[in-house]
Structure 1
């Protein structure tokens, strides 16, 4: 009974309360976007945007997980998964500036007074109808559609990390210091990026020392990283004003795209062979297909689907385990368990992976008083990494309740991940664990 009381309190104060207030507010006229024109011709403008994602969660932790050195098999917590505050402006023709502050994973283990980071700060100039160039710190990336995901407009409750191969290692929450070119030529949308990777000495996720037979990112001088992503838009064109690509347009567009991309960085990783340093190029390739299509017989019903193929070469034996917004801060021992702490599992590695999503958006419930729209979805990653003998399957399924599109939505998600252990026979699969998340998101833009 104590668990139901806990979940009831969390559900009411974090989810039901905000949702009910949103439903009541929908009878009022909607506010205009926070867009301010700076001249009478409306050519110069300033726009403010913000959003936050609040999590209430129950996690079955990996074996050996600890909280402040005490064993923790299960954790229930509340956290801020993301907060963003952005400002964009066009002070004169064909030039745009964009700034964004934010913080991720503010949970009960976070340090007091957690700082808000400068995530984006870049300038862009449009040279013609076919090309614009920019530079600074930004999320303009190549490789795949969701290497620059619009994290507040995905159909699943969270982004997928298979598309973010250097997350918080040689970048900062997918942002890099870079210059880029982007544009559209008829149906072809392209982006080309040259980035200077961040030094891994300042990363908390990367081991800075080489290991015998296992590749890791080197702490030597980083070389320039090259990346590109091309997509062909068969139906409606998507905006490329921002680097971020949407998970669903909720019936406002008819989108069908094919995409292909790569990321290359010479001598990005190293390992030891017979106690001598060996360097390895970072070579990443991806291809994907995306569909977001209202049905002809009822445009309020929308099919959303995505499938991406990822072929990654980080060097020999590379594996990275990721646990988003990790609810624990320690691990008793790594001798028997291969899985990392908390909710981590092997997400990235040298090898191949498929990741897909499928969602179905229903029409508005209660047409007269607008009770929102439901969207069930499934998401899965199937990986074949060189370092782990068996195939890896991780999957999610859940439901979105759109109270006011992406501006106000509730998501409920169940994630199932594999657990691995060390043995004399190597790395063996050792069961599966669950994580349950309720997320409320609000946006103002």
Structure 2
């Protein structure tokens, strides 16, 4: 394991200088203008993330080194004027040797819509939209972009209802977004999915809640998903043209935001009493967070820091993989080492999460230690991360991941 870690670190830190490029080469991706001033256009963004992972706790009959395509995505959006927009986002996730299919027709090999929505400008700084959207509530990380993470990937528990009430962190519904002064907001009202990740589990007398409210109680009783996120921008203001929150600006902006958000789903889960009667319970999730990203001087150094407290109430004794009723504290911090913007740049980082799981009266923790090598900002980068996670009194699990990312 030590030899593998040293080898990966060598590859990450000592990339030949001929691969080093500056961000000035990127001028906004592929854009087709339909008029001279560019106000009528079609914009396309493509990206891929490729993983090599070493798992020190893999079963004896499985390889401890695995290769995968973590994400393969294409996003397009277009405007004929600033009064309306349509966006589509499709791709696939986590394609590996275990879910490849012989002829490319298996479920994991298929592209699917991550998002598809239309949006209208109602008034200055006020917009409304509908469709399969990503205007989420709860926290910044529940709205994060996968293009510009500072850490290897998002904090998994921050996508708090992925596969429970939504399709891969996107809900089908209506939303409004906008700003009032320096306060930005997004609020949405959504359908919940019927076939959830909890579908294989049945309610048991006085047992844990199961996230099957829409299926077992019917759509009328289960209700809709209502969520929102609000953040006050003390320094440079971030764009809210698209919903995707930036992970790190690499010192190009000076941002300090404090936010709060929520998600509530009436009768989203179902419990069974001692007599076998089914009852619905509400799902309520709330978070407060803060984000700071700023240059530290004229030498190209910068800091990125984020922290969140999240209260998760999925109902009585709910515990399903990354989801569980209880509290979560998560934070990360990264330091961009001084370097000229047109050279390769290095950013070590640290992340830590701890959360309580009421169902087992125990804690879960995750420690991440990583380093980014930016060859052309986020458009061409390598990330090496060691993560160690533990649930309750179980054994800890260490995973080393090397990621290569390109986006255009």
Q: Report if the CA contact (8 A) 2:20-2:343 is conserved.
A: no
Q: Do the aligned partners of residues 103 and 7 (structure 1) sit closer, same or farther apart at CA in structure 2, a change above 3 Å counting?
A: farther
- How far 1:242 sits from its partner (Å)? 0.9
Name 1:45's counterpart in structure 2. 41
Name 2:203's counterpart in structure 1. 210
Superposed CA RMSD: 2.7
Q: Which deviations, in whole Å up to 9, do the C-alpha atoms of 1:388-420 show, x marking residues without a partner?
A: 223222110110011111101100000001155
Question: What are the within-5 Å matches in structure 2 for residues 192-341 of structure 1?
Answer: 192-200=187-195, 203-204=196-197, 206-212=199-205, 213-218=207-212, 219-220=215-216, 221-222=218-219, 223-274=223-274, 275-295=276-296, 297-298=297-298, 300-321=300-321
- How far 1:4 sits from its partner (Å)? 6.0
Once residues 233 and 26 of structure 1 are traced to their aligned partners in structure 2, the CA distance between those partners, rounded to angstroms, is 28
Task: Answer yes or no: is 1:161 the counterpart of 2:125.
Answer: no
Count of residue pairs brought into register by the alignment: 394
Once residues 21 and 208 of structure 1 are traced to their aligned partners in structure 2, the CA distance between those partners, rounded to angstroms, is 53
Once residues 129 and 29 of structure 1 are traced to their aligned partners in structure 2, the CA distance between those partners, rounded to angstroms, is 33
Which range is displaced more, 203-212 or 90-99? 203-212
Q: Do the aligned partners of residues 237 and 299 (structure 1) sit closer, same or farther apart at CA in structure 2, a change above 3 Å counting?
A: farther
Q: Do the aligned partners of residues 204 and 264 (structure 1) sit closer, same or farther apart at CA in structure 2, a change above 3 Å counting?
A: closer
Task: Answer yes or no: is 1:81 the counterpart of 2:82.
Answer: no
Name 2:85's counterpart in structure 1. 96
Question: What are the within-5 Å matches in structure 2 for residues 29-40 of structure 1?
Answer: 30=26, 33-40=29-36
2:350 to 337, 353, 378: 378
Q: Do the aligned partners of residues 9 and 144 (structure 1) sit closer, same or farther apart at CA in structure 2, a change above 3 Å counting?
A: closer
Q: Please, what TM-score do these two structures have when normalized by structure 1?
A: 0.82
Q: Do the aligned partners of residues 272 and 305 (structure 1) sit closer, same or farther apart at CA in structure 2, a change above 3 Å counting?
A: same
Tell me the secondary structure at the aligned position of residue 387 of structure 1: helix
1:122 to 112, 117, 125: 117
Once residues 193 and 416 of structure 1 are traced to their aligned partners in structure 2, the CA distance between those partners, rounded to angstroms, is 35
- How far 1:43 sits from its partner (Å)? 1.6
Q: Please, what TM-score do these two structures have when normalized by structure 2?
A: 0.89
Task: Answer yes or no: is 1:356 the counterpart of 2:331.
Answer: yes
Task: Answer yes or no: is 1:412 the counterpart of 2:376.
Answer: no
Q: Which deviations, in whole Å up to 9, do the C-alpha atoms of 1:4-62 show, x marking residues without a partner?
A: 699979997xx799x65971666995566312211123221110101110000111336
Tell me the secondary structure at the aligned position of residue 141 of structure 2: helix
- How far 1:168 sits from its partner (Å)? 2.0
Q: Report if the CA contact (8 A) 1:183-1:191 is conserved.
A: yes
**Where does the alignment leave 5 or more consecutive residues of structure 2 unmatched?**
none
Once residues 27 and 364 of structure 2 are traced to their aligned partners in structure 1, the CA distance between those partners, rounded to angstroms, is 46
Name 2:402's counterpart in structure 1. 438
Q: Do the aligned partners of residues 289 and 26 (structure 1) sit closer, same or farther apart at CA in structure 2, a change above 3 Å counting?
A: closer
- How far 1:101 sits from its partner (Å)? 1.0
